[in-house]
Amino acid sequence: MSSSKDRFTRKKLVESGIEKHTLAREKEIKAHRKSNILYSVVGVFVVLVLAAVFLYNSSWPSQHLTAVTIDDEKYTVAQLNYYYSSAYQSFYSNYYYYFYYGYGPFDTDESLAKQEYSDGESWREYFMEQAVDNMKQIQMLCDEADAAGFKMSDDEQSDYEDACNKIETGWSDYNYSSLAQYLNVVYGKGVTMDLVKQELYRTDLASAYSTSIYNSYSYTNDQLDEYYAENADQYDNISYAYYLLNESDYESDSVTSDQAATLVAGYADQITAAVNGTDADTFNTYLSDNFDGASATSTSNQGSGLSDTYSEWLLDSSRTAGDTASFESDGNQYVVMFLGRDSNDYQLVNFRHILVKAVDSDDDSSYSDEEVQTSYDTAESYYNEWLAGAADEDSFASLANEYSDDTGSNTNGGLYENVYQDEMVDVVNDWLFADGRQPGDTTVVTYNESGSYTGTHVLYFVGYADMTYAEHLADSAMRSSDYQTWSDNALQSYTAATSNLFLCGKNH
């Protein structure tokens, strides 16, 4: 068809309205195509969003995506969650009473990512660093253990299996609906029982191997004595009495802070002049007579535990009993009297015991005389049973394993070794370190004071240890130093890289 005829035909079609309908239909088709494209795009977006939500709520990413790489070994988000939560739980356990009484360093109900630890670093970042450091340490120790052909002992393997069983069967005690829910809440998303068993085994293997390295060092008595002498200021036990004059106690509407500080400084000089060169009793009498019945606090600390305010003065080698001085601290004044210095040159002791805890039948956090007496009567019956038998150390150990409530020693015959003064509760300590104590001595004593327990001990004195407390302190310090040097050297080749993957656990 010629172009003129084509134009004519189109003109006729337009006049007849046919082309109008066609054009309208073409518009509809185009609009429909656009709509289909839009719906397709929206549909794809919705699918992607739903997939993202599914993945976010799913354990799959946590169990498959890499969060940390240590050397060539890759760790998933779930594994990082496990170590992060373990670090968190360990910290919380160590400071439980601070949290319980509302003095915890962070709010457990708020995100750790929003709470500052130090210098702009959040508590989340702090626990992340702890987790990764622990992962490096454990990987290094496991590698070293494998290279050395080291295996856990039967007892260590049994302890590992017991720990796994407690987790696997004990979750219902904490009101969780399932083991999976318990693991998800306690350790984080993606953590399964298989993962817990795997990482707990590696942790226990690392701990066992590090203990074997720590215990492998040995030192002569001369080496121990030399080390202690060089560090006596850190380890010697310093006895002293002090009285604190608080500036705030003397402030009032008519007495400013500066005036109160001047006032307490004068009182401190007055007390010092009055009691210097005397003793603790004179110190207390003077305070009682001149400061409304006040008294000094007598205490004893290793040199490393002394306050910086007066430690240098107390540790001065020229110090003699009765020396007294005052020290300013933030406007307050300490009056300090030196009472003595102990070089810890006494023998450590070994003993066995059977503990019978008193039962709080009323569950009122206190123990009646009858409950304490029942504890004593039960302990005495065990003691009489021992006396009626072989009445030797082996038979005592057997009874301790059978009867003792002390979980720390009722699998090793109730044995405690290398015990130092004041390590045990006072009634046990006083008996152990009484003058003239002999191997084979026994007694029954009850502990009923404010503390973690109330109960009765059947005690068996095994004898004196091979080292003094001073040598024990030196041995522990040298051993720790040598182990740390070994560990630092072994860790030098281990590097860790973390991804930006988020954690999926409690308070992260």
Give the integer Cα–Cα distance in Å for 115 and 287: 45
**Residue 90's pLDDT is what?**
94
Cβ contacts of 404-411, under 8 Å, gap ≥ 24: 404/353, 404/354, 404/355, 404/356, 405/355, 405/356, 405/357, 405/455, 406/353, 406/355, 409/352, 409/353
3-state secondary structure 294-310: CCCEEEEEEHHHCCCCC
pLDDT at site 88: 95
Q: Look at 22-36, 408-422, 470-484 and tell me which has the smallest mean pLDDT.
A: 22-36
Structural fold of domain 347-472: Chitinase A; domain 3 (3.10.50)
395: Cα within 13 Å, side-chain hemisphere: 12
Residue 70 and residue 135 in contact, taking contact as beta carbons nearer than 8 Å? yes
Longest Cα separation, the chain: 135
Query: What amino acid occupies position 321?
Result: A
Say yes or no to pLDDT of 26 above 60: no
Report CA torsion sign: 54, 59, 60, 61: positive
Whole-number Cα distances in Å, 33 to 21, 177, 391, 412: 18, 51, 99, 83
pLDDT of 378 strictly over 90:
yes
pLDDT per position as a tens digit, 205-253: 999 999 999 999 999 999 999 999 999 999 999 999 999 999 999 999 8
Indicate the range of 212-216, 441-445, 504-508 predicted with least confidence. Answer: 504-508
Residues in Cβ contact with 483 at an 8 Å cutoff, skipping those fewer than 6 apart: 210, 213, 214, 217
Terminal-residue alpha carbon distance, the chain:
77
Whether 31 shows a pLDDT value over 90: the answer reads: no
Give Cβ neighbours of residue 187 (< 8 Å, ≥ 6 apart). 81, 82, 85, 86, 196, 505
Which DSSP category does 476 fall into?
A: H
d(Cα 96, Cα 112) in Å, to the nearest integer? 17
Mean pLDDT of 305-314: 97
313-337 mean pLDDT: 97
- pLDDT tens for 468-483 read 999 999 999 999 999 9
- How far is the CA of 58 from the CAs of 26, 348, 460, in angstroms? 47, 57, 58
Task: Check pLDDT > 80 for residue 28.
Answer: no
Q: What does the pLDDT read at residue 508? A: 56
**Residue 8 pLDDT more than 80?**
no
Where does 276-337 have alpha helices with state H?
A: 280-290, 311-314
Among residues 62, 44, 147, 102, the alpha carbon closest in space to that of 502 is found at: 62
Per the prediction, the chain carries an average pLDDT of 89
Q: Is 165 helix (H, G, I), strand (E, B) or coil?
A: helix
Radius of gyration of the chain (CA): 36
The alpha carbon of 345 is separated from its chain's Cα centroid by a whole number of angstroms, namely 31
For residue 65, how many other CB atoms are within 10 A of its CB?
15
Distance CA 271, CA 263 (A): 13
DSSP 267: H
Query: CA torsion sign, 379 to 384 to 388 to 390?
Result: positive
17: pLDDT strictly greater than 50 = no
Write down the CATH number for the domain with range 237-342. 3.10.50
Q: How confident is the model at residue 449 (pLDDT cuts 50, 70, 90)?
A: confident
Question: How far are the Cα atoms of 351, 378, 399, 419, 425 from residue 428, in angstroms, in the given order?
Answer: 10, 18, 19, 11, 6
Backbone dihedral angles phi then psi of residue 3, each to the nearest 5 degrees:
-65, -35
Three-state helix/strand/coil letters over 41-59: HHHHHHHHHHHHHHHHHCC
Contact present, 358 and 371 (Cβ < 8 Å): yes
Type and span of the H or E element at 472: helix 469-491
